[in-house]
C-alpha cells in the first residue's frame, strides 16, 4: 500500500508541475516571441491604400508587383476614386479589393461657380471626409496613383501623421508643378528647344512625398527621359513616360514601406 500511495503522490505532483508549466508558457509566449525573431508572425502584411481618378494603369502596376512579390509582404486594402467612371475601380474589383468613390461633384452640385465662399466650404467638407475615409482603412502608406485632385491642407492635417503619402507626378522636380498638363508642356518645351538650339530636352517623372505645396515634396524616385522630337511624337513620348511611371511608383512604394517599421 505504501508503494501504491507513493506512486499516486508522485503522479499528482507531475501533473501539477505540468499544468503550472503550461500556464507559465502560455502567459509568457508573447515575451518569448518578442525575444526570438524566428517566432515573429510572418503573415502580417503592410497595408496600401491607393487613390485614383482614371484608368488605373499605375494601380495595376502595383497590383502586379505585389503578385510577383516585387513589393513583398504587402496588400492593397482599399482603392479610393475621385470618379465613379474610373476604370481603375474595375481593376480593383476584379482582384477582390474593396473600393470607394469619393467624388467632389456632389459637394459642388447646385452651387454656382460665382459663389466662391460656399464652394470653398464644400471643398473643406470634401477633404475632411476624404481624410476620414483614408484613416478608416488604417494603411501603412497612401499612394496617389493618378489622383487628379489636390490634397489640400484640410485633408493632410486630418490624416494620421504616421501615414506617409506619396504621389506620382509626370515631370521632374521643379518642372510643371501643380498641373495635369505636364506631359504636353514637357513635349512643347522639347519642340521649342529643338527648334532654337537643335538639342534634346530632359523630362521624365517622379514619385515624391505629399506636402501642402503641390508637387514640391521630397522626391523618392526620379526617372529621367530625353525627348527628341525628331524621333518621337507626343503620343510616343507619353507611352514611354507611362512605362517609366509604372516602374517609379513600384520602386517608391517599396522604398517607403521598407523604411516603415
Catalytic residues: 169
Enclosing H/E stretch for 218 = none
Rounded CA-CA distance 154/12 in Å is 67
Residues 6 or more apart whose Cβ sits within 8 Å of residue 121: none
Residues 6 or more apart whose Cβ sits within 8 Å of residue 185: 171, 176, 179
Residues 6 or more apart whose Cβ sits within 8 Å of residue 87: 54, 55, 56
Q: Residue 116 in contact with residue 123, Cβ under 8 Å?
A: no
Cα angle 202, 203, 206; round to 5? 135
Nearest one of 245, 250, 221 to 70, comparing CA atoms: 250
Amino acid at each position: 500500500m505504501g508503494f501504491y500511495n507513493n506512486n499516486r503522490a508522485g503522479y499528482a505532483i507531475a501533473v501539477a508541475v505540468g499544468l503550472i508549466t503550461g500556464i507559465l508558457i502560455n502567459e509568457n509566449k508573447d515575451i518569448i516571441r518578442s525575444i526570438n525573431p524566428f517566432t515573429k508572425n510572418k503573415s502580417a502584411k503592410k497595408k496600401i491604400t491607393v487613390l485614383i481618378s482614371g484608368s488605373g494603369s499605375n494601380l495595376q502596376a502595383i497590383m502586379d508587383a505585389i503578385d510577383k512579390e516585387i513589393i513583398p509582404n504587402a496588400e492593397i486594402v482599399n482603392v479610393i476614386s475621385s470618379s465613379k467612371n474610373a476604370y481603375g475601380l474595375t481593376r480593383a474589383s476584379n482582384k477582390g479589393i474593396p473600393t470607394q468613390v469619393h467624388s467632389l461633384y456632389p459637394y459642388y452640385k447646385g452651387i454656382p461657380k460665382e459663389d466662391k465662399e460656399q464652394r470653398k466650404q464644400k471643398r473643406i467638407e470634401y477633404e475632411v471626409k476624404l481624410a476620414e475615409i483614408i484613416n478608416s482603412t488604417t494603411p501603412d502608406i497612401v499612394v496617389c496613383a493618378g489622383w487628379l485632385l489636390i490634397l489640400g491642407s484640410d485633408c493632410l492635417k486630418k490624416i494620421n501623421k504616421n501615414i506617409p503619402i506619396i504621389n506620382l507626378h509626370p515631370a521632374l522636380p521643379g518642372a510643371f508643378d501643380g498641373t495635369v498638363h505636364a506631359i504636353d508642356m514637357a513635349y512643347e518645351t522639347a519642340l521649342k528647344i529643338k527648334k532654337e538650339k537643335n538639342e534634346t530636352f530632359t523630362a521624365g517623372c517622379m514619385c515624391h512625398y505629399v506636402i501642402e505645396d503641390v508637387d514640391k515634396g521630397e522626391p523618392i524616385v526620379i526617372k529621367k527621359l530625353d525627348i527628341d522630337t525628331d524621333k518621337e511624337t507626343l503620343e510616343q513620348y507619353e507611352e514611354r513616360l507611362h512605362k517609366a511611371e509604372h516602374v517609379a511608383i513600384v520602386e517608391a512604394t517599396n522604398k517607403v514601406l521598407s523604411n516603415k517599421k
